[in-house]
Amino acid sequence: MTKCAIVTGAARGIGLVTAKQFLAMGWAVALVDRDREELDRAISPLGAQAAAMPYDISDPDQVATMITDTLAAFGRIDALVNNAIPLNRYGSEDEIANVIVFLRSDKASFVTGQVIAADGGFDSTGVGLPALRV
């Protein structure tokens, strides 16, 4: 039986990297994004199905502190946040995709009811993003 996944925000960044990881594992993957032109460019070499879906990246509550092309374009990267991350660096799209793919895999079959902060230790410092907002 083929496993399948639907990945939203898949035209670029974490979504696209996650979709590529699932595809590399032989999964059937539907890539979804509201930017149809970018999505078409992203899926053309992958052979996956795509559908348009709205997602508002301008809403700060829907944006995590991670280096992506989108965050760089919106100027979300600053020294204050970087200094608050114990690993002293931002995560990569691949590192976040690794966690997503793991949680969806059979290797996580006994993981339930957990909050997994793939954030370089940022959450464990107790600072959190609300404390950084002025």
| pLDDT bracket for residue 120 (50, 70, 90) | confident
Pick one of 3.40.50.720, 1.20.1300.10, 3.40.1010.20, 3.40.1260.10 as the CATH number of 4-125: 3.40.50.720
Contacts for 91-97 with beta carbons within 8 Å, 24 or more apart? Answer: 91/66, 91/67, 91/118, 91/119, 91/120, 92/67, 93/13, 93/14, 93/16, 93/17, 93/66, 93/67, 93/68, 94/17, 96/14, 96/17, 96/18, 96/66, 97/14, 97/17, 97/18, 97/20, 97/21
Read off the pTM: 0.68
The better pLDDT of the pair 72, 25 is held by 25
| pLDDT bracket for residue 55 (50, 70, 90) | low
pLDDT score of 84 more than 80? no
Q: What mean pLDDT do residues 8-29 have?
A: 90
The better pLDDT of the pair 102, 1 is held by 102
Separation between Cα atoms, residue 70 and residue 77, nearest integer Å: 11
What does the domain layout of the chain look like in residue ranges?
4-125
